[in-house]
Amino acid sequence: MPEKPLVAHSLAEAYLYLMATPCASCGQGLLKGSDARVVSKREEGVTVTIAATCAACHADTTKWFLLPGDLTSEEKGETAIVNPTDEPSGILDVGQWIMLFRMITEAAAKETDKTEARHLGIEAAQCLEEALKFYDDVDSDLPPSEAFFTDASRNRLREAPEQFSKRRLIDLRAKLPSMAAMRASVSVRKKKRWWRRRE
């Protein structure tokens, strides 16, 4: 194994990591992943590799992820659950989740297919919920320093701290339908994987 696998809560989180991670070669383009390939299945989880290409310079790379479970629901094409636990991500920081929320919300607004737009709405809502998992249950309106893994997110906090306001994120989440309501309105996608939509 050429590198230590990144620990993700789901295959969906692994693909979102690629969407939010700049290319190591050019530092600009985000990574576009192909289908995951299972490398091993052990008691601690499933190890997969995802070949990815930079959207800007087209450099190729391969990322390794350790995932819990057996990927059954995601292989069937069911609506992806990003993180079924209460613990925050260890591979995407609060700033990246907020960025992903914005990116996916913008994609949903441009989507003409109502079912696809609802799927995107579910993804966006989950990104917002993942961002909120980093906030302490205290009076501070901003996330703690350990919620930031990347220089880009730290820079955004310095430049626009209002974007990280817990109250703002809670207000944004309140405007969205509940996860249960959104899932109930979405049919199962049988052919097109959710991470292939933005090709």
Is the pLDDT confidence value at 73 over 60? no
Task: State the average pLDDT over residues 140-147.
Answer: 94
d(C-alpha 137, C-alpha 1), whole Å? 39
Strand partners, 163: none
Asked whether 91 and 132 are in contact (CB, 8 A), the reply is: no
| Confidence grade of residue 177 (pLDDT, cut at 50, 70, 90) | low
Q: Indicate the helix (H) or strand (E) that contains 6.
A: strand 6-7
- What pLDDT is recorded for position 143? 95
pTM (two decimals): 0.86
Q: What is the DSSP string of 8-28?
A: -SSHHHHHHHHHH-B-TTTSS
Per CATH, the architecture of 6-75 is what? Roll (2.30)
Q: Counting every residue, how long is the chain?
A: 199
Q: How many CB atoms lie within 10 A of CB 1?
A: 9
Domain boundaries, the chain: 6-75, 94-182
- Cα–Cα distances (Å) from 88 to 5, 14, 166, 183, in that order, read 18, 14, 15, 22
Q: Mean pLDDT over all residues of the chain?
A: 84
